[in-house]
Each structure stands twice: as C-alpha cells, then as structure tokens.
Structure 1
Amino acid sequence: MKPLRCPLPLALVVVGVVLSGCQVFQRSEAPVQRIEIPPSAEEMAALATAPPRLTATGTVVDSRVQQLGAELGALKSSVNGTAQDFRTTRAAIADLAGRYQTLVGNITARLQVGTTPGNPELISAWSEAQGLLGQLEQNVGRLSALSTRAAANASTASFLQSSIRSAYRLSGGVDQDHRNLDLLEDDTNRTIVAIERVLNEIADDVSRQSATVASERRTMGSLALSINSGRMYGAPLSTRVAAVPAAVPTRPVPAAAQRRALVTIRFDRPDVAYRQPLYDAVSAALDRNPGVQFEVQGVAPARGEPADQARAANDARRQAEGVVRSLVEMGLPSDRVSLSAATAREASVTEVRVFVR
C-alpha cells in the first residue's frame, strides 16, 4: 500500500486516535482488549444460587417449606443466568462500540485531511464499520430478549413471595418452620430487588443503544456521501434537527416564481456536484430554525412539443427524487422534506429548487 502524499503534515485527534496527514490509513485490525463487567458484591450476595440453609423439622409444613426452598433456588439460578448474560451482552456492545468508533474516527480524520473521491480504502473501512453497526443492532435485540426473561423471573418471584406468605397459615408446623419461612421470605425479597435492578438496567440500555444505532445509521449515510466526494461534508443534518418539526403555515403557499429558493440546482451537464452546496445551505437553514421543513421541487422547462415537455417533467422529477435521497442520506428525517413538480418558462434546463417551508 502506498503512503498518502501531502505537502504539509497535519495532526488530527479523532476519538482518541492521533493520525498524521502523511500516514497510511490505519485499519482497526489490532486485537482489541475484551471488556469485562464483573458483578458487584451486593449482586453476588443477592444472586447466590443456593437458597438459605433450612433446618428440617419433619412436620407437614416442613415438606412445603423444603419445596419452596427448591423453587427459590431454581429462581435464583435463572436470575443469575439472566444477569450474567446481560453483563456479557453489555461487554460485547462496549467492545463493538469501541471498534466502530475507532473506524469512524479514522475515516473522519482521513476525510478532513482530504483524499481521492471514492477511495477504496475508505470504502472498505466504511463497510467494516457498517458491519459492526449491524452487530450492535443484533445485540440490542438480545437485550430485548433478556428483558423478557427478566420480566418472567419477576413474575415467578412475585408468585413465590405470595406462596411463602400463604405457607405461614398452614397448620401442623412448629416455630422452626416459621423461622425457615422468614429466611425464605427475606431471600426472596432480596432476589426481587436484584431482578428489578436488572430490569431497569436492561430497559435503560435498550433505550440508549436503540437511539445510538439510529443516530449512527444517519452518520454512516453522511460518511458514505463524504467518501464518494473525497471530502468531509460535516456533521449529519440530524444533529441540527429539532425534535418537533415546525408547524407548516396555513397561509397559501406562493407560486414557485414568487418564492425565493434556498438552493437552485441546474442540471445542465452530467454529474452535477451539488451535494456540498446543498448540505451547506440546508445546514445553515437548520441552524437558524431547527424545526424548519423543506420542499424539493423538480422544475421542467415549459417549452417544445407536448412529448418533449413530458420527457422534461419526468427528468425533473427523477432529479428531484435524487436530491431528496441525498438529503435523507445526509441525516435529514424523511418527514421533514416533501416532493413536488412544476414547469417554468424561464427555465432553460431541468432544475431542482429547494424551498424552506
């Protein structure tokens, strides 16, 4: 692999990785130290597999007490397994996230330095990062499955707690039987607390990781466009979008000729390089008003025979759809952009006009 040549060395720090502008692109092929998340001492005490030591009495109630002790032991074993699987999945997510962020950081650094359009090294790294993001999404699914298991354990624990309390009313027991039931009830209560803690942690992780994966999907779309052009567009547009879109005004929308377009793209030659100016203009509009919405209008020249006008209208709509796709890939939510078509006598070639609504 040949080193990248550049006139001046430039050091960039991205995601804790220092890259030189004259260095060869670094891939994340070095072995990554696995992250272990050990349980806390309180968790180990609460989730000890063995139930409390019970003193056998040989009474009628004792048989029920021993049965409840066995059920508690099985429950704690299940809870312990769920907690262990949760720690393993969380460690896997941390490992994947670290490798993914390293790749994205390296790609971003290379793009900021500047590189060739469609650089195959960056495309390969982007594909690897996309694969890691897919694995992250799979682990979020595993977390959801663990949440179901933890909820089932919570239901079993609640039923067991009720059964233990009912056992106090059984006749034919001695004082030791009630002391045994006290031990079982206390241990069941501690197990319920541990289950609730795991449930809450899983729910938090599912929510956080789902939002992260969705955000990184938009980042990958923006990076793909940047790699294609060989330069960095900027942060995904999603980082500038408000949570709630701005309300569309109820006043009549003026005709295209009376409105001032935010961007006008003239397709007067093949491969028009419009993405960077489009990104800059839309980004600036979102900085002024994060709740703004956009209309992408394909404009065909109103000239020639009807057949020529029909072909021009189809071409204008096709080009407008391509602009919409570019905006979505840049991170703009699809519900913030609408598509329309028009004809204009003053247009000499196919145009796409982007309006702020």
Structure 2
Amino acid sequence: MGVSKKLAVSASLALFLSGCGSLWSDEGASSAATTSSSTTQTSTVAPAPAPAPVANTTTAAAPTYAAAGEPVTFVGDKVDEMAGDLGKLQDQVAGLQGRLGSIQMDAEKGSDDYHALLGMITARLQRGSTPGNPILVDQWNQAQIELEQVAETIPQMTKLSNDAADSAAFGQYLLSAVQATYGLSGAVESDHVRLEVLEDDVLQTMVIIDRLMTDLSQDMNRQNIYVNNERQNMTTLSLAIKNGELYGSSLATRAFTQTETLARAEAQSSVPKASDRPLVIIRFDRPNVQYQQALYNAVSQALSRKPTATFDLVAISPQRGTAAQIALNASAAKRNGEAVLRSLRDMGVPSGRVQMLAQESPSATANEVHLYVH
C-alpha cells in the first residue's frame, strides 16, 4: 500500500511538470506569483498558489544529453528545459546590468556638466558682477537643463527596479521548480548531479539580482536627495544673480543636512535592548512574503508621532543545526534584511536613519527581520 502511494505521488508530480513545459514564453519570462503574507507583529497569511506559466511552443529545447552508458530520462529532459530557462534569465540580468551602467553614465555626465556651469557662475559672482548679468542668466539656464537631465534618470531607475523585481520573482519560481524536480521518480544519478549544479547556478543568479536591486535602491535614494537639494540651491543662486551678489547654498538645504546628520548619529549610537519591543516583525517562513503594506503603515505612524525617528533593522537567523546550516541561515537572513532595507528606502526613509544589524537566536524557527524605532 505504501509503495502504491509513492508511485501515485511521483506520477502526479511528473504529470504536473510535463504539463508546464518551459517556464518561459516567447514573449518573455512569466513572472512568478507572489504569496500574500505580512506581519505587524506575528500575522501570517497563507500563500496563494502560483499560476501555471505560459508554455513555450516555438523556442527550441536545449539539447538533451546524459552520461555515457546511461539512458535519457524524463528528469534529464526537464533539466535541459530549466537550464535553457536559466540561460534566458541570465541574459535578461546582463541586460539589466547594462541598462544600469548606461543610466549611471548619463547621470554622471549631467552632474559633471551641471557643476562645471555652477562653478563658473559662483566664480563670477565671487569676483563681483552686475545685477541680472545676462551671461550668468544664460549659464544658469544651461545648468537648470543639465540638472533636469540628471532628474530624468530617476524614473528610468524606477522602471529598471521594477524589471529587476520581475526577474527576481521568476528566479524564485525557477528555483522552486528545480527543487521540486528532485522528487520525480525515474531519474539516474547524473540527473541529480546536474540538478545540483543547476540549483547552484540559479542561486548565484539570484544573488546578482539582489545586488543589482540594492545598488538601484541606493542610487535612487541618493539621486532624489541630490536633485531636491540642488533645486533649492538653484533657486537661491537665481536670487544671487538677480542681485549680483553671492549668497551660498540654500538655508533649507543646510537645515535638512543638519537634521539628517543628527538623526544618523542617533541611529548609529543606539542598539536594541532585549526588553525593547519591535515595531514590526517579519517572518520569512515561506517564499515571497508580502510585508510592504504592513511595514509602510507601521513606519508611517511612527514618523507621524516622531518626525525625527530613527530605526534599527535586525536580521535574525536560527541558531540551530550544523555550522554550515547556521552560516546559510545567517546569509539568508542578511539578504532578507537588505530586501526590507530597500523597501524602506523606496518608501522614502533616508538611509542614514536606518541602522542594519544581524543576530542569531536559538529560539527562532525561521529567518526573521525585526524593526525597532527610537
């Protein structure tokens, strides 16, 4: 009776994977469905099942191969298909990296040209100039154009970040498919060896996507602050040109800078105590945990009560198992913490107000991220 049940389960799993075909369609990768699970303390919502991806009906399958003397198996064919999907994902990631490099070059060039013009205006005002000097007015107009070109890179980064999130979702879906294939019957030893290599390659690709998303989040945060500050400085500089007298940077910019400097110092000097109660607890006990809305609500309320609030973001990993398992848990918890930090930046929380820490807990059963407010 036990053997029959195992054969039935294996047959069902084989039928499911056979029906899925390739995980990619001709028009692009189908994004993995995200599960719905958010916590403000301990709330968890059961995940919704991922939709079946569109089958690839025209793209030629990757060549089938097997070790010498071993038969070609159904599992081997699935490995070939998933390897082809991984290749397409890696090509897409390379394209994302190229787009990021191009955007960064445009922003750098615009910023260099802007500050060159700004330097000429400042030098002329410092030597003394007539009120409303037309040369300075023309240079100010050119500097304004260069600054707005830098500002145009922000929506480009936002679009790129969304595309990277789609790639990350598909990478998670592909990883789940690879891990599910281990349970299929009828495989030979070389099939599982290739599955292990494929699983490692998928994980490495996901690490690259995570780093890309982190770089994008940091760049967008910096560019937003930079453009807003320089727009205020341009307003003050316009008044200086009108009066023919150099004033300096905007007073609003100085006030903001001083506030952020004090907040950053406070954030770095604080460490959560054992008696402190977290503002938010996010448990990563399943893939694609949807925590953003609960996180936004909690942080929004905290900032409304205390506009100068600072935060400690603590990535907690279980201290269980072998040394290798503990190290893997710590690495996964760090990635989860970086993902939450990216979400906070995208929500508009200045990075200087958030301090990220890592801890191991013998009582934790899954990776968690705790957010404390000060």
TM-score (norm 2): 0.50
In the alignment, residue 214 of structure 2 is paired with which amino acid?
A: N
Tell me the residue number matched to 1:186.
200
- Work out the CA distance in 2 between the residues paired with 1:152 and 1:54: 29
Tell me the residue number matched to 2:243.
229
Matches within 5 A, 1:98-137: 98-137=112-151
In the alignment, residue 104 of structure 1 is paired with which amino acid?
A: L
In the alignment, residue 174 of structure 2 is paired with which amino acid?
A: L
Asked if the contact 1:55–1:180 (Cα under 8 Å) also holds between the matched residues in 2, the reply is no
Q: CA deviation at 1:55?
A: 4.2
Tell me the residue number matched to 1:161.
175
Query: Structure 1: any 5+ residue segments left out of the alignment?
Result: 1-51, 245-290, 292-357
Q: Deviations over 1:50-88 (max 9, x none)?
A: xx9984352111111111011101111111100110011
**CA 1:126–1:54 in 2, change beyond 3 Å: closer, same or farther?**
farther
> Of residues 135, 144, 162 in structure 1, which corresponds to 2:158?
144
- Work out the CA distance in 2 between the residues paired with 1:121 and 1:212: 26
Asked if the contact 2:233–2:253 (Cα under 8 Å) also holds between the matched residues in 1, the reply is no
Tell me the residue number matched to 1:197.
211
Q: CA deviation at 1:234?
A: 2.3
- Work out the CA distance in 2 between the residues paired with 1:99 and 1:240: 23
1:213 aligns with 2:227: yes
Matches within 5 A, 1:222-261: 222-242=236-256, 243=259
Larger Rg: 1
Asked if the contact 1:219–1:235 (Cα under 8 Å) also holds between the matched residues in 2, the reply is yes
Asked if the contact 2:79–2:194 (Cα under 8 Å) also holds between the matched residues in 1, the reply is yes
Query: Structure 2: any 5+ residue segments left out of the alignment?
Result: 1-61, 261-307, 309-374
Q: Deviations over 1:227-269 (max 9, x none)?
A: 111111222112332539xxxxxxxxxxxxxxxxxxxxxxxxx
Matches within 5 A, 1:233-312: 233-242=247-256, 243=259
In the alignment, residue 141 of structure 2 is paired with which amino acid?
A: S
- Work out the CA distance in 2 between the residues paired with 1:64 and 1:137: 46
Q: Deviations over 1:128-174 (max 9, x none)?
A: 11011111111111111111111111101011001000011111111
Matches within 5 A, 1:38-117: 55-56=65-66, 58-117=72-131
- Work out the CA distance in 2 between the residues paired with 1:78 and 1:116: 55
In the alignment, residue 160 of structure 1 is paired with which amino acid?
A: L
Asked if the contact 1:54–1:180 (Cα under 8 Å) also holds between the matched residues in 2, the reply is no
How large is the RMSD of aligned CA atoms in angstroms? 1.9
TM-score (norm 1): 0.52
**CA 1:70–1:106 in 2, change beyond 3 Å: closer, same or farther?**
same
In the alignment, residue 110 of structure 2 is paired with which amino acid?
A: L
Q: Deviations over 1:252-298 (max 9, x none)?
A: xxxxxxxxxxxxxxxxxxxxxxxxxxxxxxxxxxxxxxx9xxxxxxx
- Work out the CA distance in 2 between the residues paired with 1:234 and 1:194: 42
- Work out the CA distance in 2 between the residues paired with 1:54 and 1:85: 33
